[in-house]
Structure 1
Amino acid sequence: MLGLLAGITFATSLQAAEGPTNQIAAPSASIYRNIAGRDLRIFKFSPSDLPGPARPAVLFVQGGAWSRGSPEQLFRSARYFSDRGFVSAVLEYRLADATNSPVESFSDLCHALAFMRKNAEQLGLVPSQIALWGISSSGQLVASAATVGCGSSEGSAGNGGPDAILLVSPVVDAVSDGLFRDLMKGHGKPASLSPTHTLTKSIVATLIMQGDADQTTPIERSRVFCERARGLGSRCELVALEGQGHVLDRPARERVLDHQVRFLREMWQ
């Protein structure tokens, strides 16, 4: 329960603290999947200077202990990227509950990636330049899309996953997370969707930003992940935020977004 509450607190603080989402221009919504009678959407923010050439894209995935949160929590972060020339989208996905688990959440994420690539021209994005953005628990989903892949030959890594990943205080060693293990009971082995345990070959460029005083998702686990990724020939950067815990203060949140934008621009713009 402690891990669950910490995850919810972190998601609320980092994703929604900037203010009410009704102050942000409304995104356009597209249905990327219908499953069990439910339409799942992505919410797209376009660069203000569109129309123009196709742009790199970022797909945001909210955290919240795999079982809480809503896309609106990341609208401000998505707008930050679109204001800087990216096509930004925020994912709506099935949360863990009595029926669903992180397995279903991961499946939705993969379907959304495939939808964005299939509809790249309509969405105004470059299909080979789609980054995934994950925070805390959703960092596990995002990183797994890079390590496990999404079961196709699409994307820079040829595994259907993203073309880059941006992680904030992520769960990369999911086997060590008690809540994740509980949510996976009856749905599969925790190691099968644990980024550290499925990191067996080179993955796409990765940026991890995390407080060095984080007690919820210890930074040492991210160091192990990055060291292993680099050993396999991947680009993996870990930025330690001095004095920050799992909940980042406002200046740290601003530094995170700015650094992430620069990271992608170095590769794609």
Structure 2
Amino acid sequence: MKRIIALLTLLALCGWAEEKKPHPSFVVTYKETPQGELRLHIFNPPKHDAKQKRPAIVFFFGGGWNSGTPSQFYGQSQHLADRGMVAICAEYRTKKTHHTDPRACVMDAKSAMRWVRSNAGKLGIDPDRVAAGGGSAGGHLAAATATLQAFNEPDEDTKTSCVPNALALFNPVFDNSEKGYGHDRVKKYWEEFSPRHNLKKGTPPTIVFLGTKDDLIPVATAQDYQKTMAANGDRCDLHLYKDQTHGFFNKGKMFEETLNETDQFFVSLGWIPPLKK
């Protein structure tokens, strides 16, 4: 009998833990590709309806353009939805699942941004307040939607802009030169592919998070990115975290700290109200 009670208790705790995990409000297909459909995992604010014009953010997961899952940013999405933003985690094609190269990743990221803007009225989103965010290769994709002219899906209507109104980049691999990340995979087209080398005046307000012991992104790269944006008259807030390695923002205290800074960034833009103390 004691074993049965213990088992029932364990099952109840597991069910409670599952309920506590973030879950999207709904999932919708935004693109059909030869390799399969791609979806957006959408988190709505409480009591949200389509008549509202809320700010939004589209997150892109990391994984070296090879693999990954939209659930990487479920935690951040739930928080921002609770704060009044529509938060969206995008699927995109990867090498492992779809046998595609990094160019397809950028095409899909741009398609996702355009789909969200085109459907802003149905989603209750302000099309002029749509941010992009992501970690590692997903950070590259977010930055790519703001900076790269190439890699649009053939026959896609480009009249709707894919350029976000703000960027939240978590240890992004935004330098793809010989000194940067993934150059061997993109060397035939790296100059068109590297956000760092396509920065121009008018790049959206950006916040960047990086650990000082990141083995993929030197601190100097992020500092140079910030200096270039500043020279162009654009805002780039760089937050360095001592002794933190790649992917640090997903872990415990660092998750909370980077999420708080992200929150404050959107407060500074006037997209969400200040947190109540």
TM-score normalised per structure 1: 0.83
Bigger shift: residues 176-185 or 234-243: 176-185
Alignment-derived partner of residue 256 in structure 1 = 258
Distance 1:26 1:164, change over 3 A: closer
Distance 1:176 1:134, change over 3 A: farther
Let me know the Cα RMSD of the aligned residues: 2.2
Matched, 1:170 2:168: no
Distance in 1 of aligned mates of 2:181 and 2:235 = 29
Distance 1:21 1:211, change over 3 A: farther
Distance in 2 of aligned mates of 1:122 and 1:153 = 19
Q: Is the 8 A contact 1:59 1:90 kept in 2?
A: yes
Q: Which amino acid aligns with 1:34?
A: E
Matched, 1:50 2:52: no
Q: Secondary structure at the match of 1:183?
A: helix
Q: Secondary structure at the match of 2:256?
A: helix
* Runs of 4+ residues deviating >3 angstroms: 19-22, 149-155, 176-179
Bigger shift: residues 19-28 or 104-113: 19-28
Q: Secondary structure at the match of 1:175?
A: coil
Q: Which amino acid aligns with 2:184?
A: D
Q: Secondary structure at the match of 1:239?
A: strand
Q: Secondary structure at the match of 1:63?
A: coil
1:61-91: CA deviation from partner (whole Å, max 9, x where unpaired): 0001110111122222211111111100100
Alignment-derived partner of residue 34 in structure 1 = 32
Alignment-derived partner of residue 229 in structure 1 = 229
Q: Secondary structure at the match of 2:58?
A: strand
Alignment-derived partner of residue 64 in structure 2 = 65
The 5 Å alignment of 1:4-153 reads 23-36=21-34, 38-51=36-49, 53-97=52-96, 99-149=99-149, 152=158
Alignment-derived partner of residue 6 in structure 1 = none
Distance 1:175 1:115, change over 3 A: same
Q: Is the 8 A contact 2:171 2:247 kept in 1?
A: no
Q: Which amino acid aligns with 1:166?
A: A
Distance in 2 of aligned mates of 1:80 and 1:177 = 35
Bigger shift: residues 219-228 or 19-28: 19-28
Q: Secondary structure at the match of 1:110?
A: helix
Distance 1:89 1:219, change over 3 A: same
Structure 1 residue 105 displacement after superposition: 0.5
Distance 1:183 1:130, change over 3 A: same
The 5 Å alignment of 1:237-256 reads 237-248=237-248, 249-256=251-258
Q: Is the 8 A contact 1:203 1:234 kept in 2?
A: yes
Q: Is the 8 A contact 1:47 1:84 kept in 2?
A: yes
Distance in 1 of aligned mates of 2:184 and 2:216 = 17
TM-score normalised per structure 2: 0.81
Per chain length, whose mean CA-contact separation is higher, i.e. which structure has more relative contact order (CA < 8 Å, sep 6+)? 1
Q: Is the 8 A contact 2:149 2:192 kept in 1?
A: no
Structure 1 portions without partners, runs of 5+: 1-18
Structure 2 portions without partners, runs of 5+: 1-16, 153-157, 273-277
Larger radius of gyration: 2
Percent of aligned pairs sharing the same letter: 27
Q: Secondary structure at the match of 1:174?
A: coil
Q: Which amino acid aligns with 2:105?
A: S
Q: Which amino acid aligns with 1:129?
A: R
Distance in 2 of aligned mates of 1:86 and 1:149 = 28
Structure 1 residue 23 displacement after superposition: 2.6
Bigger shift: residues 146-155 or 248-257: 146-155
Q: Is the 8 A contact 1:58 1:88 kept in 2?
A: yes
Structure 1 residue 256 displacement after superposition: 0.6
Q: Secondary structure at the match of 2:182?
A: helix
